[in-house]
Chain A
């Protein structure tokens, strides 16, 4: 029966996937370099788009950091770039909010979802499971181009006269629903919603493909218990995406109806500018429920791929098997499951029933368990390993550091009692920028350093990589660590002019020159300066990336002496990945420094019959 099915599958696939049968060189250039269906090429498209968005997102954060760090500075020098948004040397307050919103949207969705998952799921899934390409190369191509279209729409919104969306990346109504409330809620918000709709389509198409590919197209011998942890992470991430993005779509759809067709799903009785609106009976809290039902899983959509990449890099560069493979898999699954039932911890201050809040609190704190298992396993893997400090390894270790220091504050914020005090302060900003933003960003950078040789056949420069790592690592802590103190002291998020409020700026003291001493001014300056340096340091990486692509040292077939399948392909694999037959897999991917073995690594393609000296009693080829 099984053989009949296999035959049937084969004959159907051949009818549709033309590019497997034809020589890739026959394709017209537009299908090769633009609308490519090769997963490796699509991955590179995602990566470079992600880099461009990261530069833009980072730049936006510097604009609002300037306002926070130097509230009295004259910003006229920015007028050539920002034009009307600089008035009398001051940043326009609504533009400040727009920059905050766009920074969040770009970083969360365009960089850390599309740039991270899009790049590495596409690149590594077929290569590491031993498949020629994704289940559907066509859908994969569509997925990228939907993302591209979404990017274009979002970018256009930045140049609108009324400014891009400015209600925060969470786009809570009524602020986001009423153009009268803030100019960004006009056309900017419409384009934001349009761009996100396209983005959701892109993510769903990608996710459908990732899940199907992992389930259907594993090579012979590649059982689930032999999958590299990267693949486990991408697989579970894709499932989370498939289950949560449709919910964001529903929320966005109802918001579009409220904005454009006069419904009142999220809008209740509102007076604005002295005028009563016709809306009644809507519930803005309902939007928050729908939004965070995506929003919380989204955090793990961002983080899990980075954790998977780290597992792979840490094991390879410690020359040790990953500690607790099964515990790692269970942790990923447990985190994914829990991520769906904790969303209301973002809403402790919405006046929810305290009993309900307690349930969400307990569930939230339980996430600490699988997270701690993962952190412990990373450290246990590094422990007494033959550590090779490649830039990728440093970034992975950096990720573990952020995962721990940012995760600890998650326990504080997960408690309803403390969260009510800390809600919407810089403590929250510090928490999620370290544990989600920086950790995932480091995972992405680690992945680029590690798989660059496979992507472009050349090596990135190590020395630049080390400088990049240390500047970024120290920079991230300098930027986000002080925010904890400010947050505990009550310094609020999203405020343009914090100096105008006695509650968190007035000290009553003066310095020797008789000027009033403003609370937090020094910390804000430090953060801004550190942010600028960290941002500039990223150009070392960008230079390294594009320079090495053409001029880097030529890579060997397996530069990191790694076990996984992607290193058995030629240095520059063509479409189809393996020129001959797809290799068969005989063992798990973490046979590093196996006692008795000749080398300190045994690739997955080596059968047990060839390594009698290191086999454990139960290890025989099936």
Chain B
């Protein structure tokens, strides 16, 4: 913008907006996980193993971060075909991740760990809520990926117009890290 001056902070406003948005998401999950800690220290806490699917889904989401980064690198080098291939790969891995999360809930349910109702315990409910909330955020990431993909097919992502995919890459990496944080947190505190 023309108002950008030497005094102003030299980061693109949209990039800065994204980082602020990430901060709000961090606060949201930080409060949920601290609620988890406070509640678990009160006792009457059910101890159980996390579903094995969560291990696989964690691997999938790490892989998707890798393909996302490759898509970004391709954009920086103007390799148009590769942008599309890696973006599609990321999109698919994202959807597989969500599918695996749902399977994970199925495993929990089969294991008699319920979200609510008479036989539920907050320990189990928290696992559902945390993974569900992460899933919702991942869906916003998937929507963003679809927008990227449409732009990629219009050839409008390249080294000269990299901001869009750069923001998406940042967001996707964040969602990846967020899940890893939640997963490690639940492993350590369950």
Contacts and interface: CB of A to CB of B under 8 A. Distances in A.
Do chains A and B interact in one complex?
yes
Interface of A: 2, 5-6, 8-10, 12-13, 16-17, 20, 130-132, 135-136, 139, 204, 207-209, 211-213, 215-223, 242-247, 249-251, 253-254, 257, 261-265, 278, 280-283, 286, 289-290, 293, 582
A198 to B, nearest CB: 15
Interface of B: 1-14, 16-17, 20-21, 23-25, 27-28, 31-32, 35, 38-39, 42, 44-45, 115-118, 120-122, 125-126, 129, 133, 163
Contact of A211 (B2, B4, B20, B27): B20
B38 A136 contact: no
Nearest to B164: A12
Q: Which 7 A-B residue pairings sit nearest by Cβ, starting from the closest?
A: A262-B116, A246-B28, A220-B5, A246-B27, A278-B118, A247-B31, A135-B13
B88 to A, nearest CB: 25
Contacts of A283: 38-39, 42
Contacts of B5: 218-222
A216 B24 contact: no
11 contacts: A9-B1, A13-B1, A136-B13, A208-B20, A217-B4, A221-B7, A251-B31, A254-B35, A264-B116, A281-B45, A286-B38
Nearest to A258: B116
B28 A12 contact: no
Contacts of B4: 6, 9-10, 216-217
A289 B38 contact: yes
Contacts of A20: 1
B125 A263 contact: yes
Contact of B31 (A132, A213, A293): A293
A139 B13 CA distance: 12
B107 to A, nearest CB: 19
Contacts of A280: 44
A257 B17 contact: no
Given A222-B7, A261-B116, A250 B38 contact: no
Contacts of A132: 1-3
B120 A217 contact: no
A63 B32 CA distance: 38
A241 to B, nearest CB: 9
A247 B27 contact: yes
Contacts of B126: 265
Contacts of B133: 253
A261 B132 CA distance: 13
Given A217-B3, A280-B44, A262 B117 contact: yes
B101 to A, nearest CB: 17
A265 B1 contact: no
Nearest to B16: A212
A261 B115 contact: yes
A106 B4 CA distance: 38
A249 to B, nearest CB: 6
A215 B15 CA distance: 12
Contacts of B11: 216
A264 B44 CA distance: 12
Contacts of B6: 2, 220
Contact of A131 (B3, B32, B121, B129): B3
A208 B21 contact: yes
Nearest to B117: A262
Contacts of A216: 1, 4, 8-9, 11, 13, 16
A5 B11 CA distance: 8
